[in-house]
Structure 1
């Protein structure tokens, strides 16, 4: 599930049997894929002592990152490990060793961060920390001079099951975002995750979390729960170096001689990026010598000729093709007898093989955003090992009867609701008891609540993430009322289990939300952590039970124009259009409201840390948010800052507004808006250049202490209260402005 958010989700740290990290050792060597059915693995990279040489501190090593001041880098390291040391005496005992480790990192921020991840795994004993400081890997390793010792030491410290997962991540093309489900799916398909079949996804997520904890991969903070991560170039270079004998990674702009390497060496894993504009794009025939491939990842087009197929790659376990013309490959897919992972998202494919059931080892199928794909093969229900199926944003309107035979499914995305006489595709969901994530679309097509009950959502005890989507009905008032009654009855029967972690409702056009949301007595969603209510054109109130969710962390209300009250205490006519939360909603630490045109008041959310307000012009009151750390306002039409800013004191304020208001803010103390934002520690304000379609071209950056006010709006524009056509951030004007303004503070 991909949820964009300004919030950080709750993460689990590995440890013990539950983590899947300790105690799970792979067979067949450090990089082995183990398992009797997996004849080939990543060979153990045996480093000969004779090949090792003491590294000299070459000047070239300094280009791994800009050096930070010693104090800053010390704070950076301490912030990474302070969570594990609460006793002040222990901090003093370990301080000198920590400073020594920082010194060995040569002041490189990435190296310090990675070492912080290593130290998080260590006991709080001085001897354990000294062992890291004195580790010979600081000075002796088989790495080339341009690679970083700290990364090597961190890699060396990984448990054996984590090493191939880390190396595999480095193969993913940088141009494409890969979510955690895709990554874990590839790990499982490659056989580098071991455990009980029911636990593989859980173990994979724990490995993923462990790599984050060690700072070997970095979360994209625009999404909750670290759904997307990236790998720093230095870390990526190291991992690709380690895997160089078996894996080739080539992207556009790369200096790698791809054709030469493909002709001279056999690889087990191949990762390619191409651009459509490249006249010398790679030809499919150039891959034909790679008959030992287990993984083929390709983003972008590869030139194909009639007769080109996948048949030569009989050993493939993982095939990921994206943003390409791939319809020609469809017929030969069934030749890949050992394929476990098939992803063809954002491609031109129009059909899957009718005899897809012969691909009996398939575990993952991803065909999202394949607009030409209109139906699934009738035999797909026979894929007994299938664990993941993503159908979102395709033209598929129904699933074949017998789809319920996919009883191994854990994740099902984009499931379409379709009625055929008395039969409804929702019935096929009934037997799928192992689902942990489910997305259902087209719920407006369900004819009755009795049919909805057959989906048996409440019986899916493993379900953690649920997305319910329907399309709003329009028509005369009488017809709309009937449709509203029906959709309310249908949603009442789509009652999830109490274990639900994330709930998204999108496009619901009922007036009242489902019973199981309005009363925790019906279904106590006490585990709910993330709630998104999106595009609710007719919903008139939020449920009272919302304030009885003790673990709610992130709340979104997006385009709900009819909401006028929340909770019984605001039923009085003079208190309508009031969004409030008693102490029990205080567990929510992130809240986003988007285009809620009737919203006037937000208050009493004592633990709220992050708040984003987009396009809510009637909001007048924001109070009772003492823990607020970050506030984001976005409204390009607002003429002045809202007055409620004087009633809050976040550490950070981010503003996206029109150029007129931004120019006013640039005047600093001489602006009529000054008193609204001057008390806030840090303010960043931006405006777009609409004429040239440049996002956030203009800016005002303010820091309270030490005082700083920076802008790229010219002095003349500030004096005139507007930006002159073609005004730019001439350095002389900029310096003069800052010096001129600073004289008055």
Structure 2
């Protein structure tokens, strides 16, 4: 209902129209289906209704991936240019993405991650409704229910099969299928796709041996979307060019894939090529740059140009329509001139870019001079792979240069204003963080993993100018640093001992000018002795969640008045947690020396886990959570008898869940053994 009302104006008339909508009194719906969902569904446009019902084909417990479902919608013909405009034919992905986000806004699908929203799930209640509404056209078959598909279902247009099945003869009768999703091992009876599924537009297969299906694949003349995941195929059909309407090829996690057929360059309508997780040595034929209609290119393997028969990085240059691009194996680029020929900066539609190096190619070199040469090449290559100004998401992974590029250290005025997500992961040799990041106005998520960084300083501070105070010159912040940043993750800064961020004094500013919107902070594996005073600013109201993992030198966590959830794990020197007046939920895992937990009047839930504890900590007597989950040794569990000194520490807590970790581990081991046997 909230999602529906958010699309309306705040006028009394519009809200009364919803209150009096005919959907409240609709007949023919099963009693268990929620009419509020029906009301929201009725308010959707015909295009959104089709997209929503299509999501019910993804079985319970599976993820709806944006990169997967959007080309499915396009292939089925749900996404059409507005008013039939031919100029909008180039924007089908954008129109589909808008539909995807509208379904999220209406809470009909739920993002797995609040910020990136690339993956979604569907609530069971919503799924049941969608399956009911789509029952005339769609069918989800679980386990061995294929046998239940009767002759009356021969008009089914969309089918999803999950789990082992044997009655494939009935599946062969589905002559009207336009979408077939198989999340199961393919039965040997299914060898010829063309005789049974000649009308297919979407074919998705996960797992199993698919080689025997490839011979008939090219006879599916209407196929627009072809998806394979975790299959054993080594190549695609050599005559794949006969599939004139094929728009999307996704071959994920296919470790045996050796090369793409040379005829693939004739698929002029191809919009998606996704090889994510497949063999990184797969060869792509020369002339690949002729596929100028490509919008999404995932898992492109960068090779050294050995014999001139296979394409290398420069063939990406003509692909000006790309929206998504992930490059792997950039350590193979021998000169920055080749990177420049990729023309990344000129791809004005590019919104998502991943640049991936294999660090092993440099780090394992014994010759220091050769290592420095490789690092210098990597630095020059990254400088030439500058993203376009409108980039929205950027991931740099495995980069082994010592310095980050100039375009990141000091972005040009107006550049990267739309950058929302930035991940700098496995930067093994980088010793300095870029100071230009703090000026990016739209950056919401920042993840950094750089083990050579020893301290965090001015790079994370608000830019300053001079202010005359009492006859002296004092630095004064001129604008907020990271004004939109809500999620910050610092991981693997294993040499970092200091985060220099002092709380600003009252006479200079009325509010802290660094990370004013920060909502979630995660620090994992570093040597910080204390959290910076600026982070614990009493005027910082946005910080709600604080996660501290493997901070070997941290001794206290104090004075975070806005934090609602605190998670601490493997902090052996941590002794004190105090002054968190709004703390609602805390987990203290493998932190054996915590002696003080106080100043937490709002605490509702505490999880305490440590199998080395011999006695319960004394602070349990002075706090009053509603719920306590205690995971401890068998010996301590057995000592918690009513009337004992240990029991008296927790007897006032209303709800207790006490787990013997030794028995729990044994149960887990037995479960794994059973799974292995089956």
Counterparts in 2 of 1:312 and 1:551: CA distance versus 1, 3 Å? same
SS in 1 for 2:404: coil
Structure-2 residue corresponding to 1:142: 28
Structure-2 residue corresponding to 1:585: 482
Residue 687, structure 1, aligned to residue 572, structure 2: no
Corresponding residue to 1:348 among 202, 227, 232: 232
Cα offset, 1:565, TM superposition: 5.6
* Residues 555-610 of structure 1: CA deviation (Å, up to 9, x unaligned): 1101432454655899xxxxxxxxx9983333322210001012221534333221
Residue 329, structure 1, aligned to residue 213, structure 2: yes
Contact kept? 1:316, 1:339, Cα under 8 Å:
yes
Corresponding residue to 1:611 among 499, 516, 521: 521
**Greater share of residues in helix:** 1
Counterparts in 2 of 1:218 and 1:568: CA distance versus 1, 3 Å? closer
SS in 2 for 1:321: strand
Structure-1 residue corresponding to 2:104: 212
Counterparts in 2 of 1:634 and 1:584: CA distance versus 1, 3 Å? closer
Residue 453, structure 1, aligned to residue 336, structure 2: no
Cα offset, 1:419, TM superposition: 1.6
Corresponding residue to 2:563 among 651, 660, 664: 651
Structure-2 residue corresponding to 1:410: 295
Unpaired runs of 5+ residues, structure 1, are: 1-114, 276-280, 571-579, 665-671, 690-699
* Residues 134-184 of structure 1: CA deviation (Å, up to 9, x unaligned): 223212322112211111111111112211111111111223322112111
Separation in 2, partners of 1:534, 1:581 = 30
Separation in 1, partners of 2:48, 2:158 = 18
> Superposition pairs for residues 368-447 of structure 1, below 5 Å?
368-395=252-279, 396-421=281-306, 425-447=312-334
Structure-2 residue corresponding to 1:265: 153
Contact kept? 2:589, 2:609, Cα under 8 Å:
no
TM-score by length of 1: 0.73
Cα offset, 1:187, TM superposition: 0.6
Counterparts in 2 of 1:602 and 1:233: CA distance versus 1, 3 Å? farther
Structure-2 residue corresponding to 1:541: 432
Separation in 2, partners of 1:134, 1:306 = 52
Structure-2 residue corresponding to 1:496: 387
> Superposition pairs for residues 170-209 of structure 1, below 5 Å?
170-195=56-81, 196-209=88-101
* Residues 363-389 of structure 1: CA deviation (Å, up to 9, x unaligned): 111111111111111111111111111
SS in 2 for 1:509: coil
* Residues 674-706 of structure 1: CA deviation (Å, up to 9, x unaligned): x436545223215389xxxxxxxxxx9999445
Separation in 2, partners of 1:416, 1:538 = 23
> Superposition pairs for residues 93-172 of structure 1, below 5 Å?
115-172=1-58
Contact kept? 1:284, 1:304, Cα under 8 Å:
no
Contact kept? 1:520, 1:545, Cα under 8 Å:
yes
Structure-1 residue corresponding to 2:493: 596
SS in 2 for 1:615: strand
SS in 2 for 1:212: helix
Contact kept? 2:104, 2:111, Cα under 8 Å:
yes
Structure-1 residue corresponding to 2:578: 676
Structure-1 residue corresponding to 2:197: 313
Counterparts in 2 of 1:648 and 1:292: CA distance versus 1, 3 Å? same
Cα offset, 1:344, TM superposition: 0.3
Separation in 2, partners of 1:735, 1:720 = 9
Separation in 2, partners of 1:480, 1:537 = 13
SS in 2 for 1:349: coil
Contact kept? 1:543, 1:567, Cα under 8 Å:
no
Cα offset, 1:341, TM superposition: 0.7
Cα offset, 1:314, TM superposition: 0.7
Counterparts in 2 of 1:371 and 1:703: CA distance versus 1, 3 Å? farther
Structure-2 residue corresponding to 1:295: 179
Counterparts in 2 of 1:569 and 1:726: CA distance versus 1, 3 Å? closer
Separation in 2, partners of 1:615, 1:500 = 30
SS in 2 for 1:225: coil
Residue 631, structure 1, aligned to residue 545, structure 2: yes
* Residues 426-445 of structure 1: CA deviation (Å, up to 9, x unaligned): 12101100001110011110
Corresponding residue to 2:447 among 556, 577, 582: 556
Cα offset, 1:486, TM superposition: 0.9
> Superposition pairs for residues 271-282 of structure 1, below 5 Å?
271-274=160-163, 281-282=165-166
Counterparts in 2 of 1:307 and 1:562: CA distance versus 1, 3 Å? same
SS in 2 for 1:272: strand
Structure-2 residue corresponding to 1:243: 134
Deviates more, 1:200-209 or 1:712-721: 712-721
Contact kept? 1:330, 1:353, Cα under 8 Å:
yes
* Residues 77-100 of structure 1: CA deviation (Å, up to 9, x unaligned): xxxxxxxxxxxxxxxxxxxxxxxx
Deviates more, 1:444-453 or 1:614-623: 614-623
SS in 1 for 2:72: helix
Contact kept? 1:536, 1:559, Cα under 8 Å:
yes
Contact kept? 1:356, 1:380, Cα under 8 Å:
yes
Counterparts in 2 of 1:179 and 1:713: CA distance versus 1, 3 Å? closer
Contact kept? 2:561, 2:580, Cα under 8 Å:
no
Separation in 2, partners of 1:438, 1:234 = 36
Cα offset, 1:731, TM superposition: 9.9
Residue 362, structure 1, aligned to residue 271, structure 2: no
SS in 2 for 1:320: strand
Counterparts in 2 of 1:282 and 1:566: CA distance versus 1, 3 Å? farther
Deviates more, 1:442-451 or 1:388-397: 388-397
Contact kept? 1:560, 1:596, Cα under 8 Å:
yes
SS in 1 for 2:278: coil
* Residues 599-651 of structure 1: CA deviation (Å, up to 9, x unaligned): 2215343332211111123353323232442333343575x8642x2143342
Cα offset, 1:193, TM superposition: 0.8
SS in 2 for 1:224: coil
Corresponding residue to 1:462 among 345, 349, 352: 349
Corresponding residue to 2:531 among 618, 621, 629: 621
Counterparts in 2 of 1:201 and 1:143: CA distance versus 1, 3 Å? same
> Superposition pairs for residues 468-547 of structure 1, below 5 Å?
468-472=355-359, 473=362, 474-475=364-365, 476-521=367-412, 524-547=415-438
Counterparts in 2 of 1:715 and 1:291: CA distance versus 1, 3 Å? closer
Cα offset, 1:480, TM superposition: 0.4
Deviates more, 1:559-568 or 1:315-324: 559-568
Deviates more, 1:462-471 or 1:416-425: 416-425
SS in 2 for 1:150: helix
Contact kept? 2:529, 2:554, Cα under 8 Å:
no
Contact kept? 1:710, 1:738, Cα under 8 Å:
no
SS in 1 for 2:198: coil
Separation in 2, partners of 1:514, 1:708 = 47
